[in-house]
Amino acid sequence: MEQGEIAPPSAEEKGKEEDDLGYRLCPDQNKKSQSFLVRSLFTFHNRCQLMLRMTLDMNPYAQLLEAMKQSGCTVFSDQHFSCENCDGCVSGGFDSATSQIVLCQNTCHQSHMNWVVTHELIHAFDHCHAHVDWFKNVKHLACSEV
């Protein structure tokens, strides 16, 4: 290997990355939540919640939540979304294990929030309605991304 080149990850490191399922990008996910007062005063949580509310009120794609309900999916908008601190390289994601849309409160602004919510709602709809196998069928993943 030449000087300045980065060595490829070992099999052990690669296995850890694959088992991680992206949770390293949202390290606050699934941790014990702080009190409402602490989240509101000392983080971007309150701002994220306000941007989410505005998006759900104004964005026509928020109607996907109603379509999910009509398809027999359980939807609670207050539990279906989670504002979390994330790695700077992501804005949000869909957690299929919890059927929850994670919004990165420390990296998102309103116009980007609209896009992220729309994109992740499509994944949530596909997960519920089409029973997508996210980790074993690359065609399912590709179809949802298109």
Provide the annotated active-site residues: 120
CB 26 within 8 A of CB 104: yes
Q: Hey, CA dihedral for 61, 62, 66, 67, is it positive or negative?
A: positive
For the chain, state the CA radius of gyration. Answer: 17
The dihedral formed by the CA atoms of 46, 47, 50 and 56, expressed in degrees to the nearest 10: -120
Query: Looking at residue 59, what DSSP letter applies?
Result: -
Tokens of 99: 């059927």
